[in-house]
Chain A
Amino acid sequence: MFKSFSTHILQHLIAQNTWACSLLQPFAGKSVRVTIAPVHSTLVILEDGSLAMAGETNIPDASINIAPSLLPRLLAKDEAAKLQIEVTGDTHLATALAKVLSHLHWDYEDDLSKLVGDVPANKIGNFARSSAQSLKNASVNFASMLSEYWQEEKPILAKKRHVDQFNHDVDHLRSDVERFEKRLQKLTKAREASTSDAGATPQHQVTDSVK
């Protein structure tokens, strides 16, 4: 039932995003296992360019592994986080599927319009969008307020400029240490060379007396 339901949702989304079909169609019949530990599921690309859940004995052609810690960054559309997604097997296939999955857009207004009509669906859509935006703004404001409090009033968080200064100092110290290490090596070598020169003469003398 789960596979049937998920397939229905995937195909509905693909039907709303027709651009995805042409992107996936060249990979028809292939499958990709998507893992976000501990959950995983295998998607198969159908001949019409749509997606379905794979069956019980499917052997995937590619795998996409997403570390759970990457999820919040991916949801926040952090481009650097995308580079940390692990792709194995047919990378062209996995990349195409990852692109489709990350750009799929649910046109909920279109779905709602079939139930309640175009105008109410649009109104509900506008309300949902403005509510989401307000919630996002409120979250950002709350986060800024908290960080300001923890930086200024009860400083348990470091300010950016302090962190930068600290990083700069650490870099500086590291170069100083490296310079010192080089100098020490140079001095040690010089000392070893002079010691070996001084010890060479008595050795020759001993050899001569034996002869």
Chain B
Amino acid sequence: MTSEQNTHFGFKTVAETEKAKKVAEVFHSVANKYDLMNDVMSAGLHRSWKRFAVSVSGVNPGDKVLDIAGGSGDLSKLFAKKVGPTGQVILTDINASMLGVGRDRMLDAGLNVPAMQCDAEKLPFPDQYFDCVIVAFGLRNMTHKDKALAEMQRVLKVGGRLLVLEFSKVWQPLSKAYDVYSFKLLPIMGKLLAKDADSYQYLAESIRMHPDQETLKQMMVDAGLSKVDYYNLAAGVVALHKGYKT
């Protein structure tokens, strides 16, 4: 097996073809308790990060928004309110279990948001279709991030925005404490709440393997986006990147 065919899955090295399968297993396992765990892990901050992402998206009523790796549908719900009845939000996820949770939530909230299972590296949408594309806490699980970013850029209209909300590199003085939290506490919480320590161990490892703020910014520029800027949230635990298609 050549090194080109390998990728990382947390700290492990696996075949590229295996990664999607392994990520799918993780999310099948945590789907039902995903939001509960997110709330516990981030002390509810993930909701405020998502709200912030929506507030800087600049989405207008009537706009078309694509929510990639939208899972439980938090962002789709917020965007659906923002675009109003004349707009369109499409919720997508590669994982059927996560998408099922999101779809049911949209229906329960009385929102007409189509849910579509698809791979972010091969988006089934025409060129220049969306005003805004967002991927929240999903990019790090993708095998070919460059391909996924290029696809997101492709489906954006000129002037459209790509928002990437993702765990990132924490402010250096806090990194020791953050490591203890991620590698000691997080798996314990995963075991207690979701009965799945391994999945949360993967979560901590995948965060460390994800590109830092500047690297991701460069990746977005390489994917053809311009005016890329980022916000550090919670001292860099999470970063929100925003880039324009010009």
Contact = CB atoms under 8 A, between A and B. Distances in A.
Contacts of A29: 159, 227, 244
A4 B229 contact: no
A54 B59 contact: no
Interface string B39-62: 000000000100010011111100
Given A29-B244, A56-B213, A57-B217, A11 B229 contact: no
Contact of B232 (A11, A44, A54, A56): A56
A162 B230 CA distance: 60
A47 B59 contact: yes
Given A29-B244, A47-B159, A47-B161, A7 B230 contact: no
A55 B58 contact: no
Contacts of A165: none
Contacts of A123: none
B55 A28 contact: no
A53 B231 CA distance: 9
A52 B55 contact: yes
A48 interface: yes
Nearest to B160: A47
A159 interface: no
Nearest to B228: A57
B242 interface: yes
Contact of B60 (A1, A47, A57): A47
Nearest to A3: B231
A46 B159 contact: no
Contacts of A55: 229-231, 240, 242
Interface string A133-174: 000000000000000000000000000000000000000000
A58 interface: yes
Contacts of B228: 57
Interface in A1-18: 1, 3-4, 7-8, 11
A57 B239 CA distance: 12
Q: Classify the secondary structure of A's interface with B.
A: loop
B229 A58 contact: yes
A50 interface: yes
Contacts of B159: 29, 47
Contacts of A28: 58
Given A4-B52, A7-B52, A50 B230 contact: no
Nearest to A54: B229
A47 B162 CA distance: 13
B193 interface: no
B234 interface: yes
Contacts of A53: 231
B148 interface: no
B229 A1 contact: no
A6 B105 CA distance: 31
A56 B238 CA distance: 13
Interface of A: 1, 3-4, 7-8, 11, 28-29, 44, 46-48, 50, 52-58
Given A55-B231, A56-B232, 5 more contacts: A4-B52, A53-B231, A56-B231, A57-B217, A57-B229
Give 3 nearest A-B pairs by CB, closest first: A47-B58, A46-B58, A55-B229
